[in-house]
Structure 1
Amino acid sequence: MKKQTKSDKSKILENMKKTTKYMKGLKKYLILYVFIAILEGVVGVIYPIISAKVILNITDKIINQLILTSLVVLSLDVFQSFLTLLKNISYRKIYQSTTANLQTEMFKETLKLEISEIDKQSSGLFIDRLNKDSQDISSMFMELSYWLTKIMSNIGVLIAIFILNKYLFLYALFTSIFIFLISKRRVNKESNFRRGIRKLNEDKTGLVSESIRGIRDIKVLNANDNLTNQTVKKIREVMKEEMKLYFTNSSYNAAETVAKSITEFLFIMLGIILYNKGSLTIPSFIIAYHYQPRIRNLLVGLSYLMDYLKQFEISSDRIYEIIDSDKFKKEQFGTKEVKKLDGYIEFKNVSFGYENDKKIIDNMNFKVNPNEKVAFVGKSGAGKSTLFSLIAKLYPVDKGNILLDGININDLTCSSLRDNISIITQSPYIFNFTIKENLLIAKADASMKEIREACKLACIDEYIMSLPKKYDTLIGENGVILSGGQKQRLAIARALLMKTEIILFDEATSALDNETQKDISKAIENLKGDYTILIVAHRLSTVIDCDKIFVVDNGKIIDVGTHDELIKKSELYKKLYEGELI
């Protein structure tokens, strides 16, 4: 087991400090929680003394005193129950609120990650950390507070038992240290298992999530057995490690229980010896007997404290890696606010590759004027679609500059950039919401009139109105009830609702039938002159009437012109045209 270094300890303290930020507005509950823990400690000190008096009153047959002390014991029991109720309410309030705040922050920060970071990771990594680790941070933080307070309140018990009898005190102290060492060893072993289990759970969650999303392809490919075997393997890996953890925990619990029983028996024997020697009275022994577990709990509490610190360290590291560390790259934007762009686009010596050694875009230069309709054509893999990802800054360029209205996109704020750009992709993601809710993602305050106008332009309003629930129809995960063409038309309507100055069509009409294709082409034509429109397409109808057509090959623009000009001067364009690949 790796020992904690000073930097590890300072990191835990730093993470604790970060966690308190997510407990704002909960100060009164935290104070109440700590205060109750202290009160419980005080009651725990008083209770044995009153219990000893009850026993004395029974042996001395002092009925009045017996009734009185019994009532005090009853009152303490009721008071203890009331304290437990208040403590549990405070705990739940702090736990739920802190967890919700952490989950909200993590979700927001996950959305700020660069697309390249999301591409590299399993979805299980984010899902598991959002759900499990946020809960663990909250509960561990509360447990740390509880046990720290408990340990402090038990210091009074140490003093009390020392005053009663120093021999019993020394015995209780040394035996408790022995049990503490057993507990500490258990904590170290369990910590290793927990860290491994977290990683395995991430992988399992990711695989299950991917399988559910791709269930149609799994069925078509008849890959049920293959995916089932992979999933079962992950589940069994988790189960195997959890069984190891359970066995370790159970073994050490059994060892601690046996050790406690032996030490308790020997404590009673020591008490009898001291009583026979006249060094101890029965009331003092009764009080000391009740206090003895408190000393043990004081030291065992320290091992629990270390256990919770380890668990807190694991969960907080995983959460804060996403929220505020450099491990995952986040999108960087500028500070320049621009409410509305004119739509001028310029690439200056832009190069980009998804991998460092392979350029997808190679020293590219071009200009698009406001309200122009231009197209990018070329063979598959030439880098056409990547251009749109770069314009929207989904990926940062490796070299060169992209300018919008003469402003470097790196200088613009996120909203200034993306509120002015709409991208309609060939595989749009449709959320498991109603049709209306999917459209409102683009513009939260859109009226029903605006929604229907956008859908009419996208040639999907008629279909929606034919559904029993119309715009309130739930369309399932990734728009399962819609055809490929309907998904694209809904995505077009979503983009039109944004009313951005720049609209990028990334083969957005590729899955549409010929009739719908004509309608969409007409809709795009209606936008011409009011928006800057860039199109990546294979179909002639979306290219032939463009103001400019850029021919892309191996990440470079090799020709530019109108359709008629390119047919005459560009061999690649003519080849694509003749091969019906445009």
Structure 2
Amino acid sequence: MKYNKKTKLFSRFVRILVKGNKYLIAILFCIMLTIAGLDLIEPQITRTIIDNAIGLKNTNLLIKSILLYTLVIIISAILNIVLTYLESIMKKRIAIKLKNRSLKHLSKLSGNYYSNIKTGNIISILNSDIFNIENFGIEILLSIVIDIITAVATLIILINLQPDLLIIVLVIQLIIIVIQTKFSKELSNKTKEIRQKDGDISNLIQEYVSNIMNIVISKSKQNFFKRYTKEQRILTNKCINLDLKIAKNTSEINVMSGLIIISIFGYGGLKIINNELSLGELISFQQYIGLLIMPCTRIVNSNTRIQQALVSAERIFELIDEPIEIQQNNVGKKIEKDDNCTIKFENVSFSYTKEYKNLDGINIVFKPYETTALVGSSGSGKSTIINLIFRMWDVDDGEIYINNVDIREYNLKNLRKNISIVTQDSLLFDDTIKNNILLNRKNIEEGKFINLCNKLRINEFVDDLEDGFDTIIGENGVKLSGGQKQRLSIARALLGNEKIIIFDEATSALDNISQKIVLKTIKEFTKEKTVIFIAHRISTIVDADKIYVLENGKVIEEGNHIELLKNNKVYRKMFVQEDTIK
């Protein structure tokens, strides 16, 4: 990280920590300052106890000094408890704020980002890196300021006590600072490497856990463990190497700190023997040296923690700063409650990559009160059309209109709110069947809910469950069959108020009889809506008002089922082929 970049990153990092916590930070600073002041008093009390109270056999002074020392210790202890409590509150605030901001930003990104995203890396950022920021805390920066004040005050006291003994200590302390400065640079680079590798492994584990059943069925477990073991070995070696470097650095610091203690008692002992120093002065000097060394050590060690936190902050900011390609237009046009939606594609071309055109000059119209179907082989452009309607991507050329208004002029949030997409891979949560259908929508009548579930034959399998609609279905609906999952997703869409409903292979897991029942129910509940079907099976779309046949990103045929059969072209071949397979 270059110096200017690191400075900007640190400045932004501090602003994140400070924002919304100014009063709390002020209180923390005052408490820290008070504790530091009490620490500076303790060596003076020690000197009084040894030289004046014990040395002069003054019992009254001894009792007063001990009581004062006890009071200082108790007040420091209470303030430290309060300090820890307030620090914990602020740390949690910052962690929650960063996590919420990251999660919200993720939801605003385009399909281009989602198609290239590595889930493990994102999870690593949301967990490990935000935990590092939380563990860092603003109190470390406050502590640096307090430590500087403490170190300066202690240094002034030590100069007045024993300047010659202080010089010896400072020389050794400077060597420690040089060692730590060199180490902190190396630590920053190594930590960044480990964070990146940890994200790669998290991605592998996420992939494994999310598809565990398919991995077992496909006998690809060994392939996973081969990749995982290799990556884990690399990470382990990096971690061991870093731990060894930390241990080596710690040992060096311990040796140098030991030399400081030896110097104090060795040289100081000689001065006591020569009557140049009292025992109380030596002990108080040693305590003050601790007050000097501890802040200096904390400042140097804080630099190490700052470097680690900056690595995490950089990764978090990279996520937060990911450009939002599909911008929300807050003053854009909205689809009103009474609007019907006519969607029109005019000469639309689009490519995910430069090498291949996924759509090439498409002209399609989707009308309300009608069911429009898109059919074609895999890669023909069907799902791409849906992605463009939902504005996960924007077109390269041409225009998409909704009610004769360019789709880009609509309020994005409102647009997506009025589109419901049901895919073959049903999104279900580890919750009850009822909650998965309703998605916490409170305005849906119980009668409408029960009626729809009966018509979709959801009640047939729900009635056999002990807890009925309150049955928890497991992560991604693992306790249900593919067809049961699709029925729940379809019910969820039909209960909504969306103007546009898209079924992308939404009945692929249903048998022919169940499919006919579901399609009949869909038609009943979507009479006033704009309905789009994407299908491989012709049987799904035979009743569609308009069918578009796609091939290599182009519309090659259009019409209803009867018209397309009469054309005796691609659609008819597909229909005959499907009928033959049956």
TM-score by length of 2: 0.94
Please give the alpha-carbon distance, in whole angstroms, between the structure 2 residues aligned to 1:132 and 1:310.
15
2:135 and 2:565 map into 1 onto residues whose CA distance is 69
More off after superposition, 401-410 vs 444-453: 444-453
Answer yes or no: is 1:256 the counterpart of 2:238.
no
1:218 to 210, 215, 218: 215
Query: 1:559–1:570: 8 Å Cα contact kept in structure 2?
Result: no
Bigger drift between 328-337 and 167-176 goes to: 328-337
Which residue pairs with 1:41 in the alignment?
36
Matched, 1:396 2:432: no
Deviation per CA, 1:101-143, whole angstroms, max 9, x where unpaired? 2212211111222232122122111111111211211222332
The 10-residue stretch of structure 1 (378-387 or 120-129) with the greater mean CA deviation from structure 2: 378-387
Q: Deviations over 1:4-34 (max 9, x none)?
A: 512321221122213333xx2x444333322
C-alpha distance in structure 1 between counterparts of 2:437 and 2:217, whole Å:
30
Range 266-275 or range 159-168, more displaced:
266-275
2:150, 2:295 within 8 Å by CA — same for their partners in 1? no
Query: What is the SS of the residue equivalent to 2:477?
Result: coil
Partner of 1:97: 93
- Give the one of 304, 317, 341 matched to 1:307: 304
Tell whether the 8 Å contact from 2:357 to 2:553 is kept in structure 1 after alignment. Answer: yes
Note the 1:17-166 alignment, pairs <5 A.
Answer: 17-21=15-19, 24=20, 26-56=21-51, 57-142=53-138, 143-166=140-163
Selected match of 1:540 from 538, 541, 547: 538
Residue equivalent to 2:517: 519
Query: How far apart, in 2, do the equivalents of 1:436 and 1:331 lie?
Result: 33
How big is the shift at 1:465?
3.1
Select which of 501, 504, 507 maps to 1:506: 504
Q: Distance in 1 between matches of 2:66 and 2:215?
A: 70
Paired residues of 2:119 and 2:203 also in contact (CA < 8 A): yes
Letter in 1 for 2:129: D
2:43–2:287 CA contact under 8 A, matched in 1: yes
Deviation at 1:489, TM superposition (A): 1.0
Question: Is 363-372 or 488-497 further displaced after alignment?
Answer: 363-372
Structure 2: which 5+ runs fail to align? none
Cα deviation digits, residues 225-244 of structure 1 (max 9, x gap) = 32223223333322222211
Q: What does 1:351-430 correspond to in 2, within 5 Å? A: 351-430=349-428
Instruction: Give the structure-1-normalised TM-score.
Output: 0.94
Are 2:326 and 1:339 aligned? no
Secondary structure (helix, strand or coil) at the match of 2:379 reads coil
* Displacement of 1:333: 2.7
Are the structure 2 counterparts of residues 87 and 569 from structure 1 closer, same or farther at C-alpha, using a change threshold of 3 Å?
same
Taking the aligned partners of 2:568 and 2:381, their CA distance within structure 1 comes to 18
For 2:178 and 2:405, the matched residues in 1 are separated by: 65
Instruction: Report the CA distance shift for 1:512/1:413 in structure 2 as closer, same or farther (over 3 A).
Output: same
Q: How far did residue 380 of structure 1 move?
A: 2.7
Which whole-Å CA distance do the structure 1 matches of 2:394 and 2:431 have between them? Answer: 31
Q: Distance in 2 between matches of 1:141 and 1:307?
A: 14
Q: Is the 8 A contact 2:494 2:526 kept in 1?
A: no
Output the CA distance in 2 between the equivalents of 1:572 and 1:201. Answer: 50
Contact 2:110 2:392 in 1 (8 A): yes
CA contact (8 A) 2:188 2:307 kept: yes
Q: Distance in 2 between matches of 1:461 and 1:416?
A: 33
Q: Is residue 429–residue 475 contact of structure 2 (8 Å, CA) maintained in 1?
A: yes
Q: Counterpart of 1:318 in structure 2: which amino acid?
A: R
For this pair of structures, how many residues does the alignment match? 575
1:231-282 per-position Cα deviation (integer Å, ceiling 9, x unaligned) = 2333332222221121111111111111111122112233244445665444
The amino acid across from 2:419 in the alignment is I
Please say if residues 147 and 299 of structure 2, whose CA atoms lie closer than 8 Å, have aligned partners that are also in contact.
Answer: no
Does the aligned pair in 1 maintain the 2:168–2:263 contact within 8 Å? no
Gaps of at least 5 residues in structure 1 are none
**Cα distance between partner residues in 2 of 1:170 and 1:160:** 13
Equivalent pair of 2:341/2:402 in contact (CA under 8 Å): yes
Letter in 2 for 1:190: L
Which secondary structure does the structure 1 equivalent of 2:369 belong to? coil
Give the CA RMSD over aligned residues: 2.1
Is this contact kept in 2: 1:144–1:308, CA < 8 A?
A: no
**TM-aligned CA deviation for residue 475 of structure 1:** 0.8
Match of 1:293, as an amino acid?
G
SS in 2 for 1:180: helix
State the alpha-carbon separation in 1 of the partners of residues 76 and 285 from structure 2. 21
Whether the aligned pair in 2 keeps the contact of 1:378 and 1:552 (CA below 8 Å) is: yes
Q: Following the alignment from structure 2 to structure 1, what is the Cα–Cα distance between the partners of residues 268 and 565?
A: 106
C-alpha distance in 2 between matches for 1:356 and 1:433: 42
Counterparts of 2:443 and 2:234 in 1: how far apart (Å)?
48
Measure, in 2, the Cα distance between the counterparts of 1:545 and 1:112: 37
Q: Does structure 1 conserve the Cα–Cα contact (< 8 Å) formed by 2:50 and 2:279?
A: no
Q: Which residue in 1 is equivalent to 2:235? A: 238
What is the letter of the counterpart of residue 194 of structure 1? T
Farther-moved stretch of structure 1 (201-210 vs 392-401):
392-401
Q: What is the CA–CA distance in structure 1 between the aligned matches of 2:172 and 2:42, rounded to whole Å? A: 23
Cα distance in 1 between the residues matched to 2:475 and 2:233 = 28
Q: Secondary structure at the match of 2:344?
A: strand
**Residue 445 of structure 1: CA displacement?**
4.4
CA offsets per residue over residues 465-516 of structure 1, 9 Å max, x none?
3321111111111111111111111110111122211111112112211211
Letter in 1 for 2:136: M
- Is residue 432 of structure 2 the alignment partner of residue 434 of structure 1? yes
- Structure 1 residues 343-352 or 565-574, which shifts more? 565-574
- DSSP 3-state at the match of 1:198: helix
Instruction: Quote how far apart the aligned CAs of 1:144 are.
Output: 2.5
The yes-or-no answer on 1:270 pairing with 2:296 is: no
The alpha carbon displacement at 1:186 in A equals 2.3
Give the 3-state SS of the residue equivalent to 2:349 in structure 1: strand
Distance 2:288 2:520 in 1: 86
Q: Aligned pair 1:471/2:460, yes or no?
A: no
Deviation digits for residues 350-377 of structure 1 (CA, Å, limit 9, x no counterpart): 1112222211111111222222211112
Task: Give 2:168's match in structure 1, choosing from 147, 167, 171.
Answer: 171
Cα drift, residue 152 of structure 1: 2.4
Q: CA deviation at 1:300?
A: 2.1
1:517–1:77 Cα change, 3 Å: same
CA distance in 2, matches of 1:10, 1:144: 16
Q: Match of 1:495? A: 493
How far off is 1:39 after superposition? 1.5
